[in-house]
Structure 1
Amino acid sequence: MLQTVTGLIHEKEAGTILVHEHVLVGFVEDGKLTPEDYDRDEVVASILPLLMQLKEAGCSTFVDCAPEYLGRDPYVLKELSAKSGLRFVTNTGFYKAPYLPPFVYQATERELSDLWTREAQNGIGDSGVFPGYIKIALNDGTSINETQQKILRAAIRTSFETGLPIQCHTIGGDTALHAGEIMREAGYDRERFIWVHAQTGKDLTVHQRLADEGMWISIDSILPGTYDKHVELLQQLRNHGVSSEQILLSQDTGWYTVGEEKGGNLRPYHHLLTDFLTYAAQQGLDLDWLQQCVTRNAYRAMRIRS
């Protein structure tokens, strides 16, 4: 099942899923972002019209990918769910420097995992909202630094204990390979791990290898002006033997930016469903498969494992 901010749902209820989007993001260093830094009512009023467009386009479930200290707000998501009729999924987990609070650098893997496991079991604060997955990030580069390795191992431990999948901001194939090695050492099922921003990997044999091991290949940033390059990438992934069952599609768009007037430049959420899928099909990709990427594949990637 899929854990939303309003409860558990089955695949049929989940419908069409955008697996990597954002409602609210605050790039405030050292974990200092708090709800006092923004107006919840303004966030809801700003984002709601975009969500209504998205719902009209056929979306049912929206996965919000801002972790704690970067804009996660279960109260905003609950209100948006009630007003839009969309289902929202939020997370537990932390991002990366410079947006980590100081205690993360001193905490042990077990201490971090215990924090996230408690949220998974008891809910986020007094919100009554339970996380549906673990959101983390790896530093950009060819290898993963000590702090982000600790966060990755803590996420793996949390996933073992809760069944929650992991979405991981991962830039480049070398970083994805390093993460895969850490997961193999831990005996972790890569089917619980989503390589977010997989379009940043240039060697597509890496995608094929990791997909064969069960890892989810999430192609996002599919925005107006990028359609041709994303169609080409999807065609190349298929040609390289990357399993069609392992590919996810999303936009990584939105969002209300804390500190900018009225949230800054808010981008619509509906274009992938209203424009890109049709365009990609016109360019030769199978429309049924494209829709599978945002329905069956997305649900299987995001579901809670026993």
Structure 2
Amino acid sequence: MKQLILIIPLLILVFSCSNQNERKNFIETVNGKIESDQMGLTLIHEHVLVDFIGADSTGFHRWDKDSVVQVLMPYLEEVRSRGVVTIIECTPSFLGKDPILLQKLSDLSGIQFITNTGYYGAVGGKYLPSHAYSESARELADRWIEEVNHGIEGTGIFPGFIKISVNEGDSLSQIDKKLVRAAAITHKESGLLIVSHTGPWATAKAQIDVLKEEGVDPENFVWVHAQAEEDFNNYVKAAEIGVWISLDGIVWDVEGHLERVIFAKEKGLLDHILLSHDAGWYSPGEPNGGDFKGFTSLFDELIPLLKEKGFTQKELDLMLIENPAKAFSIN
């Protein structure tokens, strides 16, 4: 009997650990959770719709979902035919984030979409709501955590990462520091990856310093628009501390991305590289949504050039399948 009493707590502990393991490594899409190995070939930074009118004027009234779907579907069918399984949609709140639209596009195209929580502080705060200035980092984080726990604006759709943005510079403004701290708090309470519109390494480093102050490991940070950095040696510094390096402007500069990816291979950094276009997007208020740039330059231009330089399929899969799954997995 005593042996049984001793065994029962052990079984409970084993069962508890087993359940914890089962909860690890999932991805949150607009249609619910998937296993990380179901993410497949992923474009980690794209936009379906962006509304640049400003935080005080944007809203769902600014676009018709069916019209957006009609414009988007041919572009989604293009990338689906090239093997894309998942698209990380990086449009944040107050810039045109529309989870219901993404869900509709996912259902029609078969592509998995992942949306976000968080605020965009760049461009002098034009896309920040007024409460971002008056509330504390904790209060902002509480808003974002509410979306993580209960869904975005009553849609029943949950964010799969935290998207913020800061203004370029060697140091951060007070509002930008607040956004980074809010992201850190949200990460610690949700496990969501922090994806920050950044640019040069100096701006990334300033954010990383704040994250470290808040107890967040740099491996939970994506340095977005890292192609803006001209000193490639800073990619080595970033990778050494675990930062994800997002080279995500392929549609705008194929050759520049080629140079950076070759450098990353030479320095053994490919396991920290993420690739995408930062392309799209439907622009509300413009005829037929404006001038849409598709999501195929990676496949039609960059990958053939990389193969000419001796890149193997295994190396391409590392950057396009394995790294995104590892980066965006929620523990």
| TM-score bin, normalised by smaller chain | over 0.9
Post-superposition, which runs of at least 4 consecutive aligned residues in structure 1 deviate over 6 A?
none
1:17-32 matches, cutoff 5 A: 17-32=42-57
The CA distance in 2 between the partners of 1:221 and 1:58, in whole Å, is 20
Q: Give the Å deviation of 1:204.
A: 2.2
Amino acid at match of 1:229: G
Kindly indicate whether residue 300 of structure 2 is the aligned counterpart of residue 267 of structure 1: no
Determine the C-alpha separation between the residues in 1 that align with 2:235 and 2:210. Answer: 17
Residue aligning to 1:179: 207
Q: Does 1:36 align with 2:61?
A: yes
Question: What is the CA distance between 1:199 and its match in structure 2?
Answer: 0.7
**TM norm structure 1:** 0.95
Match of 2:222, SS state, is strand
The within-5 A match list for 1:86-101 is 86-96=111-121, 97-101=125-129
Question: What runs of 5+ residues in structure 1 fail to find an aligned partner?
Answer: none
SS in 2 for 1:152: helix
**Paired residues, number:** 303
Q: Which residue of 1 aligns with 2:274?
A: 248
Matched-pair contact (CA < 8 Å) for 1:124–1:131 = yes
- Structure 1 stretch displaced more, 227-236 or 45-54: 227-236
With over 3 angstroms needed to count, the CA separation of the structure-2 counterparts of 1:204 and 1:242, relative to structure 1, is: farther
Give distance in 2, aligned partners of 1:65 and 1:265: 18
For 1:237, the equivalent position in structure 2 comes to 264
Q: 1:297 maps to which residue?
A: 323
> Does structure 1 residue 113 correspond to structure 2 residue 141?
yes
- Percent identical across equivalent pairs? 37
In the TM superposition, 1:126-137 aligns within 5 A as 126-137=154-165
What SS does the corresponding residue of 2:87 show, helix, strand or coil?
strand
Q: 2:260 is aligned with what amino acid?
A: L
Aligned 8 A contact 1:278 1:287 in 2: no
Which residue pairs with 2:10 in the alignment? none
Task: Report the alpha carbon displacement of residue 40 of structure 1 after superposing the two structures with TM.
Answer: 1.2
Q: Does 1:102 align with 2:127?
A: no
What SS does the aligned partner of 1:30 have?
coil
- Structure 2, unmatched stretches of 5+, are 1-25
Task: Determine if contact 2:227/2:256 at 8 Å carries over to the other structure.
Answer: no
Could you say which residue in structure 1 is the equivalent of 2:219? Answer: 191
Structure 2 letter corresponding to 1:79: K
The equivalent of 2:17 in structure 1 is none
Deviates more, 1:109-118 or 1:29-38: 29-38
Amino acid of the structure 2 residue aligned with 1:49 = P
8 Å contact kept, 2:37–2:325: no
The reply on whether 1:283 has 2:309 as its aligned counterpart is: yes
Question: Secondary structure, in 3 states, of the residue corresponding to 2:223?
Answer: strand
Question: For residue 236 of structure 2, what is the aligned residue in structure 1?
Answer: 208
Q: How far off its partner does 1:267 sit?
A: 1.3
- Mapped to 1, the partners of 2:79 and 2:197 lie a distance apart of 24
Instruction: State yes or no: 1:166 paired with 2:191.
Output: no
Q: What's the C-alpha RMSD, in Å, of the aligned pairs? A: 1.3
2:102 to 73, 77, 82: 77
> What's the secondary structure of 2:195's corresponding residue?
strand
CA deviation map 1:133-175 (0-9, x unaligned): 0000011122111101100100010000001101100011110
Match in the other structure for 1:9? 34
After TM superposition, the score normalised by the length of structure 2 is 0.88
